[in-house]
Amino acid sequence: MTTKHNGPTRFPNLPVKEPTGAALIEQERAKATFDVKTLSKFIYGEEYLEKLDKIVPILENDPVFDKSRRYFQGRDEKIRDAWRKDRRFLELRKKHNWDDVDEKIVHSLYDQPSPYRLHYIMFVPTLEGQCNEEQRKLFLEPSKRDEIIGCYAQTELGHGSNIRGLETTATYIPETNEFEIHSPHLSSAKWWIGALGRTANYAIIMARLIIHDKDYGPHTFCAQIRSLEDHMPLPGLTIGDIGPKMGYNTVDNGFMMFDHFRIPHVSMLARYAQVKPGSGEYIKPVNSKLSYGGMVHVRASIVSETGRALARSSTVAVRYAAVRRQFYDSTSPRKWNGETIETSVIDYTMVQYRILPIIANAYALMFTGREMLRLYHLNIEAMKQGNFDILADLHATSSGLKSLTSFMAVDGIEECRRSCGGHGYSMFSGLGHFYNDYLPSMTVEGDNNMIYQQTSRYLLKTYRNVIAGTAQPSEHNLTLTYLAQYLQNPKAKCPATTPTDFLNPEVILSAFGFRAAYGIAKVAEQIDHQGRPWNDALVDLHRISRAHCQYFIVRTFFTAIQRDNKEDALKLGTGGRKILQAVASLFALHVMEKDLSDFVLSSYFSAEQLEMVKQQVQDLLKVIRLDAVPLVDAFAIPDYMLHSALGRYDGDVYPALTAMAEQEPLNNTQVVDAFEESIKPMRQFALKNRNDSAKL
């Protein structure tokens, strides 16, 4: 079809109505009560920010890392771009001599799941944690040199969270000193395995170890699954991609079935559990919890990611709320150059109540993730010395935090999207695409509605030990601390007499500790002495896990602020300390307000104190409102990472939206090809029907 002037659709070159978004956003920044760069350094450290500044222009100017077509791509194009990006990443890493921190920054900035990334997130860490010396040379070292590409094959078609229920078997064959991996049922198929569909040539395989007909439960194996020459699946394996998903479509999540697939004895990762060659004698780990270390690291990393996810989404929501204007406030009209203008939506209290606590959540979870990683490394060093005192509490807390924080992140991203109004539904907001890609965090590394039970079991066990006097005190075990305080005075009452008393961290922490301990004691009494079945108590078990983790986050947040001292090179300054203290208080009191029923049932609060909490939340919103834009600026998230018309640093929202709309492929021509094929015939069909009716 040839149509005159059938060129691309372009917007006329018109200015945005005054005041522009750029003017409004700069006015917001002028209100800052603290130094933004100083707070950024406090969050990340100066070295990280310097690396960030160096890497951003490298990616922005590399065609392979271009994001301009991202929102218009179908799945096939998406995953092919992901493979190209992974290859280019290896080239740039070598060229610029990037270290581990640089690599994390690159992947964070590009902000799109990719097949090869899972090699580093799951495959390599598992090998590092579970290989013996021989296996480190055979598997780990080649994987670090990128000579093999791995995936982590645990989840099955019929089993996810219940690892003990996995069906894939690994039977030891003493005659040949091999293991035979087999899928006995259709539901045994490995499923959802990232990078398995078309990328990986090696896999960590979780399978039930069978020796002389005895089942020793799930163990880990590392084996080649594809030819290193032509990439074909090895004989005995059926491998494919599971198909399109709600998001995460730049990763080839795959399936794999085993048909009596033989692997050598060395394939069973043997740092802890071992099978003696020939005899098949099973040597169990010295400590059954040794494998927890790797899970703690992954879950601690997830907590860190939830903080960054909320930082990103709140940056978009707050900046757009500052430049988006709706309605006139007759009681407090806003003036600009002497004229009354519409009110910025961020000045509406309901908007503040929706998005300012998400800023607080972001800060809280970023500090919590950092603390969890610190404890992880502390635990690793302790374990090397044969000290496992930290491990149980750390594993339990990491399990509960993974559940709680990923719920917080998913809910927060969606609330930020909704707060953006109609434009939040556009992919150009950057939030819809991000939300869909982030959703898997609810189920990876343990389904959120199941994994909390690991925390609950530990809390009940610890409570019983405290009651029995057998608990071993530890400076790193916060659970023992608040349980002991509760048992000293289970009838304690909150000492607050004014709303401002709830700005005192000690008052806040005492309330969270009492509430958690009360819930644990109540559930323990019901299960241990009243015969309440575990399944019947699941809702309350979730509540105590949540309460424990909220206590941990609140305490960590306040402690993080206190680390600013004379010896610390990262000084917050008076303004920075003051605003962070307000943000920490908002986080704690907003959580408290949402869960008031727990505090009421424990009889720790009076009715008057409940009103004080609500009032103080409202007062804190007013304080933080003035610094809302500077607070999200301190997250130091470049426009390249946001890829959002609404969240741009310069505030030029509407020119950015129209420019992105012009890139829509449907706008490449004034008249689409479908006009001749479908649109025109529809009209002709209607006209014919009218004419036929007229003849009748």
Q: Alpha-carbon torsion 418, 422, 423, 427, what sign?
A: positive
Chain centroid offset of residue 397 CA: 16
Closest CA to 476 of 362, 588, 381: 381
Q: Where are the alpha helices (DSSP H) in 385-447?
A: 391-419, 431-438
* DSSP for 239-285, written as a single string: EEE----SS-TTS--EEEEESSEEEEGGGB--SSSEE-TTT--EE--
Closest CA to 353 of 105, 141, 620: 620
Rounded to whole angstroms, the Cα distance separating 676 from 433 reads: 33
Which residue of the set 50, 445, 662, 664 is catalytic? 445
Residue 6 CB contacts under 8 Å (≥ 6 apart), including other chains: 669, 670, 671
What amino acid is encoded at 462 in this protein? T
DSSP category for residue 206: E
Backbone angles phi, psi at 150, to 5 degrees: -115, 165
Q: Is 60 a catalytic residue?
A: no
Q: Alpha-carbon torsion 576, 620, 311, 28, what sign?
A: negative
Indicate the SS3 state at residue 339: strand
CB-CB contact of 428 with 360 (8 Å): no
Rounded to whole angstroms, the Cα distance separating 384 from 568 reads: 29
Closest CA to 282 of 268, 294, 262, 292: 268
Rounded to whole angstroms, the Cα distance separating 175 from 171 reads: 12
What amino acid is encoded at 106 in this protein? V
CB-CB contact of 544 with 458 (8 Å): no
Q: Which helix (H) or strand (E) holds 380?
A: helix 349-384
The two three-digit tokens of residue 443, written as one number: 């189920």
Rounded to whole angstroms, the Cα distance separating 308 from 301 reads: 11
- CA geometry: angle at 446 spanning 445 and 449, to 5°? 145
Rounded to whole angstroms, the Cα distance separating 564 from 81 reads: 44
Rounded to whole angstroms, the Cα distance separating 284 from 266 reads: 16
Rounded to whole angstroms, the Cα distance separating 587 from 60 reads: 35
The two three-digit tokens of residue 610, written as one number: 């409940």
CB-CB contact of 254 with 197 (8 Å): yes
Rounded to whole angstroms, the Cα distance separating 96 from 545 reads: 44
Chain centroid offset of residue 293 CA: 19
Rounded to whole angstroms, the Cα distance separating 429 from 317 reads: 9
The two three-digit tokens of residue 345, written as one number: 């939506």
Cα–Cα separations (whole angstroms), residue 30 to 271, 344, 427, 591, 629:
57, 16, 30, 30, 10
Active site (catalytic) residues: 445
